[in-house]
Chains A and B, each alone.
Chain A
Amino acid sequence: MERLKTADVGQVAIAVVLLAGAIALLVCSLGSTKFATSTVAGVALGLVYGSLALALVLIYQATHVINFAQGELAMFTTYIAYQLIQWGLSYWEAFFATLAIAFLLGTVLQVAVIRPVQHRSVIATVIVTVGLFILIDGVVNWIWGGSFRSLPSPFGIASYDVGGVPIEHLWVWQAGVVLAGLAGVWALFRFTKLGLAMRAAALRPASAALAGVRVEVMLAIGWGLAALLGAVAGLMTEPSQYFLDQAFMQPILVYAFAAAALGGLESPAGAVVGGIAIGVLQTLMVGYVPQITSELQLPLAFALILAVLLVKPNGLFGRRQVQRV
């Protein structure tokens, strides 16, 4: 794996800007309860985007595939959790059981559906994931139908009152889970042999195979882990969407893509930071700039991301890919 230490100045500049932004948010929040409430809600929303973006980044880092079906997979595993609870398991039993099921599902999908196309063009794999999207949607609708179902948050609506700003217990848990996930992914790729093998399998399959890495297994594990992260994202997102229905991950997927693009598809931390930035921007726009009517929110968010990508084509935290000829 090569790493080019270019443009570290750029990275530092970005870090400084983000830090400045965070400090500005903090200062304004201390000044106004309304601002603080909006910001906190925005961070919570951003964590939701970030959690799914994390799964997207993991799959990309481990298998170099953009998975359009990530959100629907997460939705599917959430429905599985719902069904397990209907069959009598407690919330936390169902939670962990679902994670295991998600891992299995991810590996099976990779082996059955992605492996045959992954060495071909990007387009082929993208299409297969799009097909999976449609397929999973159909399957969920088939099994569970279109009605709203309740999968209540294990924390209810209890919230802490911090100086007049409500902070739901759920949000604290979400933050904890996302940060744990982020730390886990980072540690996996930085410190473990498995992580190294996975990255090698994704970047240089031929060389990795020669070095003894079981490439196919690594890719399958990558998908399994991403599905697991996605399941966590789905389970965390659902309570904040208030009910379970088929389409609940779709708006999240859109912003998760935006977060991943913004932060850089190679950077788990970037994805989470990108997600938080988008979430805060959204809630602040809703609260303070009503002239930006709701139709323009999506286009503006994406215009912003396009602008960022033009300046930094690999996202804020991405590294420029250098190809040796």
Chain B
Amino acid sequence: MSSFEKIRVVFDCNTFLQAALKAKSPAENCYRLVEEGIVKLFVSKDVLAEIEDVINRPQIRERFDALTDEKIKDFLNSISELATIVEKVSKVFSLPRDVDDEVYIDLAVEAEADFIVTRNKDLIDLMTDYDTESKAFRQKFRFLKIVQPLEFLRIVEEKIKETFE
């Protein structure tokens, strides 16, 4: 049997919250890969702070009132237990069209991640667009791919098949 080298991955805030709130979603299945130890997840303190703040915003708490402080605490504990927390993240890339998403690229590069999993178009477009930023991104970080949750599941499945069949 071949050895299985774990895929290194960064999830963005939307992926984390989709995983938490939407049962049987592709994002939930991505998180399950982390729970089962099939992929290696990386987070930073900035990302954890973003998740904690965003999930507590009125848009979410008032709409889904079954969401309690305790559940949020358990969720953040789950992420902290399962993921490797990267303490120091250097700024390596500027994304003027969506500066708020730069943290994920910086984290992925610091963690030497293979993938960023996101449903955010500004990030996903970096893989295919021909503007200066996108071309610079692909040239500078050839090892890093940005994919949607469903695509990530397909890639992991393929890798498992290749390794064990």
Asked whether A and B interact, the reply is no
Q: Which residues of A contact B (CB under 8 A)?
A: none
